[in-house]
Structures are given as structure tokens and as C-alpha cells.
Amino acid sequence: MIQVLRKTYVQPQEVMLLKANINYTEFHFENGEVLLISKTLKSFQNTFHQYGFVRINKSDMINVQYLTSTRAKYSYVTLTNNLELSVSRRRRKDVKNMVLS
């Protein structure tokens, strides 16, 4: 379990996506629930990276275990809930390395 606020904990394997929203981060869970935390995505980046998360663009960080497909040379990724996200040009190499490992 990871502590995200003083009394709020999350299981990283249940989180599909972390999405930046100005100075907030939205946690999207596999059951469809969304949790809004008043911290930036950057503050969670190092913590969640060790659990198989990869930053794919300026505002999204995905859990690789929920990745179902990639297309156009890792330009887009699709998650298990059929959500398609674009991958920034500078982060495609990181995504490719995480998928192939």
C-alpha cells in the first residue's frame, strides 16, 4: 500500500492510470472509481515507477499491467478499459522498454 495523503492509501496494482489536472492528480482505478488528490503527478512519479508505472506524456502515467496494445510505433497505447492515450515523442523509448521487459 502506498500512502497518498495523511489517511488515504492505495494499492498500486489496482490503479490503472494517474492523470495530471493542474495541481491535482486523478487516480483511475480498475473498477472505474476516480480519486482526486491535491498533489502533482511529479510527486508520485518516483513512487509509482517501481510498481510498473511509466510516464507516457506530460499529464498521464499508466500501469503497464493494464496495457493491452500499442500502435503507430508506440505513438498510442490502449488500456484494458479501451481508453486510448497518446505517447509523447520523447517518452516512446521508455514505453517501448517497459513493454518489452
Where b means 16+ CB within 10 Å and e means fewer, 62-71 reads bbeebbeebe
Q: What is the pLDDT of residue 98?
A: 85
Mean pLDDT of 73-89: 94
- Could you give the 3-state DSSP secondary structure of residue 74? coil
Q: Which domains does the chain have, with CATH numbers?
A: 2-100 (2.40.50.1020)
Q: Rounded to 5 degrees, what angle do the CA atoms 90, 94, 98 make?
A: 160
Kindly report, residue by residue over 2-56, the tens digit of the pLDDT: 888 888 899 999 999 999 999 999 999 999 999 999 999 999 999 999 999 999 9
- Could you give the 3-state DSSP secondary structure of residue 16? strand
Residues 6+ apart with CB under 8 A from 15: 27, 28, 29, 30, 48, 53, 63
Q: What is the pLDDT of residue 26?
A: 97
